[in-house]
Amino acid sequence: MNKKISLYYYIQLGCAALFSVFALSFKPDISLLAFPLSVIFTGLSVYFIYFRMIKTGSAKNATACYKISQYLPFALLLTFILRRAGKYGVPYWYDIVTVLLWTVIFVTSLIISWHMNPKRTAQTFKGWKQVPDFSKKPKGKARIVFEIVDWIDAIIGAIFDVLLIQIFLFQLYVIPSESMVPTFLVKDRVVVSKVNCGPKFPLTDVGLPDFGNYKRGDIVVLRNPHYSLDRKSEVKTVTSQLVYMLTFMAVNLNKDENGELKADPLVKRIAGVPGEQLVMQDGFLYSRTKESDEFKVVEKDSKFATWNLNELRPGIKAKVQTFPFTQEQYEKMLRLEEERRNMNMSVAELQASEIAAKFSKYCKYSSSEKFTFDSDEGLNEFHLFESAESIAAKLLSAADGSNWFSQFMLSWTKPEIKNKVRDMYSEANFRLNVMVKLCFGNIVLRAAELHASGTDYADWKNDALWRQYWEQAELLNWYIQGLLDERNMPVFPPCDADGNPRYLPQDCYFMMGDNRFNSLDLRHSMDYEPAVLCADDPLSVSYYSMMAPQYINKKYIIGKPVYRFMPAGRIGKIR
């Protein structure tokens, strides 16, 4: 048996020596540290294992050699990461060779540990000199030192074991937000299985094969695509994970450029699968494929999507921290969407024409200057409503005030715009654009009428029509700025320049949170940008949008939550 244990040590040391050669780097960055550290670890192993034990045939230092053999694969894993943490990285074949070498080192370490069990050491070191009693523990002060060192060894070993488990098997995840209510609540603790999701060695594409079978409705943990996933950011992420573990979760370096903790990874539900084109309108997700050109409601998504938290069962509702709106507000939103859907566009055109014609009668053209906005916000809907009174005053006196107002109110009525066939999302926003114009037009016209009648400005708020128009304006602004991007999504992936559908590519998925009004998911970016409600209308109303749908390749899926282990009242399998 002693020949076998020697053979395992020879294999381990030989692979460690080759591994050290592959840790060599000539790049002027952090990867330079990999080679000397690898040489130090390997050199110490060779010295104690070969020169102090195998060559002498003495088992006096067997315990130390056993510990060195245990720590060698973890030490080399750190140098493996350092070698790839540089600016340039290494070729794929290079990764494969070093991963194979490391795997052999790790496996031989496990085999040696098995043979070093106190029950087997007598047979393992049969015929060796100075074989100690591995089951015997020191006494007195030496016992205290022994226990302290043993505890430190156990803690360090546990850290490295957890590191390997987290990389390849599963990890624990704490739910950070309410984006998945009611499935998950804040601070729910779940076990995330990584086995079937193709876990990889840090900073490489080498690892276990991806056996993941993802379908609509699956809950997954994924890397947050709102952050850069380039090489530099990956190095920072892996480094922060190592520091987080080695400091017993006391130091978390996983922060963005502003020093805020990153919302990475995310937990979301798969809503779109390869081969589909999606669109979401008024809270319903629709999809179509190459086999069917018609968008149809995704019934399964409706089972998961949560729009009204007020309807949750009491036990869950009591634990929710943020409610986007009350039941009354939710019903108000539904009425607004129904009003938009039922709009008679011919009647709307007639109303717009009447508003423009009536307003022109009050224009005095007392200024030779043409109408311009006082702000760069221009046709932003919030700015239009906020500045409606001052805009009305400028329009009444500007040389082209009546003409500009008429163009604004009627720009959408051109046949090529009004009669254009649109997808459901574009048509809804086209109608919303018209609703804003009519509301703004009514406010401007009423301001002109009240001013012409000599009504004191302080009494305008008592005018029934004035209050009615402003209530509508507040409702529209609330919906557009607060709900529009959460409630809907344009056709995605967008059609090509010729209008032909495009579909989610192979191995790519679209995810959303269950709590749709409180989920920064793959529908959105992290920044607001100006966007028009109707691209066909040259004088369309605009708003600040964070709509930027994207899909994600399955290689960025980390794992699947399989079990909730905290809090006590919610323990159970994730379904």
Cβ-contact 95, 216 below 8 angstroms: no
Cβ-contact 363, 396 below 8 angstroms: yes
pLDDT at 305 over 60: yes
Mean pLDDT calculated for residue range 276-304? 96
pLDDT at 390 over 50: yes
pLDDT at 549: 96
Q: According to the 3-state scheme, what is the secondary structure of 33-92? A: HHHHHHHHHHHHHHHHHHHHHHCCCECCCHHHHHHHHHHHHHHHHHHHHHHHCCCCCCCH
Cβ-contact 32, 154 below 8 angstroms: no
> Model-level pTM?
0.86
Mean pLDDT calculated for residue range 1-21? 88
Question: Is 84 or 154 the better-scoring residue by pLDDT?
Answer: 84
pLDDT at 352 over 90: yes
pLDDT at 1 over 50: no
pLDDT at 136: 67
Helix or strand (DSSP H, E) at 466: helix 464-482
Least confident residue range of 78-92, 146-160, 188-202, 464-478:
146-160
pLDDT at 198: 86
Cβ-contact 156, 163 below 8 angstroms: no
Mean pLDDT over all residues of the chain? 90
Q: What is the dihedral sign for C-alpha 160, 163, 169, 175?
A: positive
pLDDT at 301: 95
pLDDT at 520: 86
Cβ-contact 425, 488 below 8 angstroms: yes
pLDDT at 249 over 50: yes
Which residue is listed with tokens 């009536």?
Answer: 358
pLDDT at 370 over 90: no
Number of residues written out for the chain: 575
Residue 245's pLDDT band (cuts 50, 70, 90): low
Residue 413's pLDDT band (cuts 50, 70, 90): very high
Q: d(Cα 124, Cα 566) in Å, to the nearest integer? A: 44
pLDDT at 86: 84
- What is the per-residue pLDDT across 31-72, written as a single tens digit (0 to 9) for each? 999 999 999 999 999 999 989 888 888 888 888 888 899 999
pLDDT at 235 over 60: yes
| Ramachandran angles phi, psi of 125, nearest 5° | -105, 25
pLDDT at 259: 78
The residue ranges of DSSP E strands in 424-533, in sequence order, are: 489-492, 508-512, 524-532
CA dihedral 128, 132, 133, 137 (to 10 degrees): -160
Which residue is listed with tokens 């591994």?
Answer: 19
pLDDT at 256: 76
